[in-house]
Amino acid sequence: MAGPTLRTLARQLGLSRTTISEALGGSPRVKAETAAKVKAAAEAAGYVRNPLTGAVMSQLRRSRSQQFRGVLAALEIVDEAHTALARRYSRALMSGISSRAEEMGFTVERFTLGPQGIRPNRLDTILYTRGIQGLILLPASGSPDLSALSWDRYTAVYTDYFIEAPPLHCVCCDHYRSMVTLMGELRARGYQRPGLFMDNALSERLQFRWEGAFLAVQDHSPPPRPIPVLRSRALGAEEFTAWFRQHRLDVVIGHFPEAVRWMEAAGAALPETHGFVCLNVLRTNHDCTSLDLQPAEIGARATELVVGQLLHHEMGVPARPSLTTLPARLIEGPTLRPRPKEAAAGSPWIGHTAAAAPPAAPRP
């Protein structure tokens, strides 16, 4: 037996299908008592409303070509802590979001929230008026608070670690796995004394994932003894150089490419005697070996999850928020010697360069 439809509910209640649809969608145009009667009848009949139906019909009525394009919203919270790097990362995310959305039959509208942007109550009105229910949240500084939105109307994914107000599904880079893989890659290229330097704020933001993986790999690796992480809130050349020389490092990992200059000033020749890997290619001018955190792929995966949730009627704050992670990709550069030919076939990285490694060189 066929399930209940708008048509059967309309016939049962003596109302038009438009009234039934608007009542189930929470339209203010329908009287409260009528809406209550419709919702009660729908629940009794076992009717489940498709959250995309209203948007589909609205778009079809507006489109001469009769071609439906759903709409997703990308939300970005901008404040004084929103740096140039954050904007660059958001642009890369948006490229993946927009491309994947188009492939899936959706367009994306971008909204800016914050002191100079839209307030949550105004955003609620805009999203409701336009029939937008799928939201993708771009990374925010600190702990974003979007609890004021009417979450029973939306399904959403956050493209970062973690959000608590409200707790949502998240998609981001797998920093821990990426560091473990990088450490194996460095050992395969002949490096024996890797060092990691971390900005405290960046480390805290990622819940110490880079650092935790680095220390865990060292703890389970053959001698020499583990090398301590250099932690700082304002790292400078003097502090870096003392650490670099004290521990006789042959390869350095960190976020700031200026470390290459400090290494060279201390007597290192890259890549002949030493190596350097930047933990985020967006911080570089592609003038050093680095990790691509794959923001475009993260944006595409977030889009897939939001569309899937829409199609499965998964609205509101999830009862069990999940975390989806994607590994980083190694971008070859002039600051790391190539992998030995005999080891290149087993590289876990995409796009690694296979080349003979030079002999080990003296430490500065």
Helix H or strand E segment including 196? strand 194-199
What confidence category does residue 208 fall into, taking pLDDT thresholds of 50, 70 and 90?
A: very high
Domain identity same for 137 and 92: yes
Look at residue 318 and tell me if it is in a domain: yes
Look at residue 181 and tell me if it is in a domain: yes
Domain identity same for 188 and 270: yes
Percent of the chain scoring above 70 in pLDDT = 87
Look at residue 107 and tell me if it is in a domain: yes
Percent of the chain scoring above 90 in pLDDT = 66
Domain identity same for 104 and 190: no
Average pLDDT over every residue of 261-267? 98
Average pLDDT over every residue of 1-23? 79
The sign of the dihedral angle between the CA atoms of 28, 33, 38, 44 is positive
Domain identity same for 261 and 113: no
> Residue 47 pLDDT more than 90?
no
What is the model's pLDDT at position 51?
Answer: 54
Structure tokens at 133: 């229910």
Q: What's the CA gap between 15 and 7, in Å, rounded?
A: 9
Q: What's the CA gap between 183 and 255, in Å, rounded?
A: 16
What confidence category does residue 14 fall into, taking pLDDT thresholds of 50, 70 and 90?
A: confident
Look at residue 7 and tell me if it is in a domain: no
Domain identity same for 322 and 247: no
Domain identity same for 307 and 199: no
Question: Residue 83: which domain range?
Answer: 70-173+297-326
CATH code (residue 316): 3.40.50.2300
Average pLDDT over every residue of 243-262? 97
What confidence category does residue 30 fall into, taking pLDDT thresholds of 50, 70 and 90?
A: confident
Quickly list H helices, the chain: 6-13, 17-24, 32-45, 53-62, 84-103, 120-130, 175-188, 200-205, 209-219, 237-246, 259-265, 295-311, 341-344
Domain identity same for 305 and 332: no
Cis peptide before 359 (omega within 30 of 0): no
Give this prediction's pTM: 0.78
What is the model's pLDDT at position 200?
Answer: 94
Domain identity same for 168 and 307: yes
Q: Quick: pLDDT tens for 135-170.
A: 999 999 888 899 999 999 999 999 999 899 999 999
Q: What's the CA gap between 57 and 338, in Å, rounded?
A: 56
Domain identity same for 335 and 261: yes
